[in-house]
Structures are given as C-alpha cells and as structure tokens.
C-alpha cells in the first residue's frame, strides 16, 4: 500500500520532530485539520502494519511521536551504543584537547581556538561522557563552561590532568605564553 500525500507529510513531520509533539503543532506543520490527526495517525499505523514496517505512530498523553516497534528496540539500542563508542574524529580530538588544556571553557572559546563552529563536536563529546557541564560563567549570556570527566581520564589512561603531555613550544615571533580570555574566568 502506497502512503497518501497527507500520510507522507505526517510521517515526515513526526520523523523530523523526533520527540513527542503537540497535535496543534503537528497539524499546523503538516497543514492538516487538527480533528483529522488521530484518524490520519491510525491510517498511517495501518499502512505500517500492512507493510511490515518497524515504525509505529504513538499517542502518549495526547502527544504524537514516530517510534520503532518494541521488537526492534535491541537492534536500535545496539546501534546507538556502537555510535557512542565509535573512535573520535580529528575535530573531536582537537576540541577535546582545547578543553583538557584550558578548562573550564565555553563552546565559544573552543570555536575561537579551532577557528570553526564546534557546537556539534562539543555536544557529541558531552554525549559520550568525555566532557561535562561545570556550571555557568559570570559573563553576559551566562555561557556554559565545560570540563573533562573521569571517563576522559580513563579513556586516555591518565590518573589526573597533571599527566597530560606538555604542549609543543610555539616557534616564530608569537608569544610563548597563552593569554587567558574572559571565557576562562573562574566559576
């Protein structure tokens, strides 16, 4: 059975949302009548069942969410765990190095040092448990400060941050010491 246009739009909106979403927001985004949402979700579930799909539309406390059927949970969990323990990219190693040697630091400090947007990398490092939020700095906007965790030390075979290898000396006319920025004020 082929999905109708409205079913496909509902599926796309629920997929993009990820989290349970309010019926009003779904109806507005999918350009469907709020009253037709429950019936449309039911018809989408029927199409999924007819095709043997692993997906299901759940209605939890009046909120709708696209989810994986319970019988596929272990496979999804295994994939998520595999991703969590995947090797770090060069970008992640750079960001982790900046944080380890300069902590506590903000995302903007990491971005300033690396010269590129590092939000995704910092979020991934936090998700992996290698860094953690250490409060908010007393600066405009009260940015979140990040520090390394005990998991970071374990992963790199260190018992403390004092065991980090020294940074290579910079050559040329640049100062050999690092200027601390406003991002590095104490918590």
pLDDT per residue rounded down to tens, the chain (187 residues) = 688 899 999 999 999 988 889 999 999 999 999 999 999 999 999 999 999 999 999 988 889 999 999 898 888 887 766 555 668 899 999 999 999 999 999 999 999 999 999 999 999 999 989 999 999 988 888 999 999 999 899 888 888 899 999 988 876 544 444 444 444 443 3
Q: What is the CATH number of domain 5-72?
A: 1.10.10.10
What's the rounded Cα separation, in Å, for the pair 155 and 36? 52
Q: What is the pLDDT of residues 67-91, one digit of tens each?
A: 999 898 888 887 766 555 668 899 9
Q: State the pTM of this model.
A: 0.49
Residues of the chain with CATH 1.10.10.10: 5-72, 90-165+180-184
Q: Domain 90-165+180-184 carries which CATH code?
A: 1.10.10.10
């Amino acid at each position: 059975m082929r999905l109708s246009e409205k079913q496909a739009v509902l599926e796309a909106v629920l997929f993009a949302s990820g989290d349970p979403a309010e019926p009003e927001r779904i109806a507005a985004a999918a350009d469907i009548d709020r009253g037709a949402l429950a019936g449309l979700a039911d018809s989408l579930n029927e199409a999924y069942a007819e095709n043997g799909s692993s997906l299901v539309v759940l209605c939890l406390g009046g909120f709708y969410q696209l989810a994986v059927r319970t019988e596929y949970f272990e496979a999804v969990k295994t994939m998520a765990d595999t991703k969590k323990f995947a090797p770090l990219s060069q970008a992640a190693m750079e960001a982790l190095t900046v944080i380890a040697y300069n902590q506590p630091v903000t995302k903007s400090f990491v971005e300033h040092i690396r010269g590129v947007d590092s939000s995704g990398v910092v979020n991934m490092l936090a998700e992996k448990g290698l860094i953690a939020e250490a409060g908010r700095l007393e600066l405009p906007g009260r940015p979140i400060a990040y520090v390394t965790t005990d998991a970071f030390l374990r992963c790199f075979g260190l018992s403390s941050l004092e065991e980090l290898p020294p940074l290579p000396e910079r050559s040329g006319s640049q100062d050999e010491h690092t200027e601390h920025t406003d991002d590095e004020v104490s918590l």
